[in-house]
């Protein structure tokens, strides 16, 4: 089935059917996620950050503190 045909069929669905379809699509993406290749630039950046962490050169922040700071900043 071609994209235009799929879009046309989606237009015929009700809201609850569309939401179920989106859920199914996300589940299929998650199931195949381990097969997705990671770009080399991302591997390099992760290794750089991990090395900085191991060497004590990286300041870590608790996610709750960051979340609260952002909420207060954008009230």
Q: Is pLDDT of 57 > 80?
A: yes
As a whole number of angstroms, the distance between CA 72 and CA 66 comes to 10
pLDDT in tens, 13-56: 999 999 999 999 999 888 876 677 889 999 999 999 999 999 99
- pLDDT at position 30, please? 83
Contact indicator for 24, 10 with CB cutoff of 8 Å: no
Provide the residue ranges of all domains of the chain, joining segments of one domain with +: 3-35, 40-73
Do 20 and 26 form a contact (C-beta atoms < 8 A)? no
* pLDDT on residue 34: 67
């Amino acid at each position: 089935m071609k994209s235009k045909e799929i879009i046309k069929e989606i237009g015929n669905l009700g809201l609850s059917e569309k939401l179920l379809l989106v859920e199914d699509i996300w589940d299929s993406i998650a199931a195949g996620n381990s097969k997705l290749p990671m770009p080399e630039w991302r591997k390099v950046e992760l290794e750089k950050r991990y090395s900085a962490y191991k060497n004590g050169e990286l300041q870590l922040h608790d996610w709750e503190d960051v979340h609260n700071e952002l909420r207060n900043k954008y009230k």
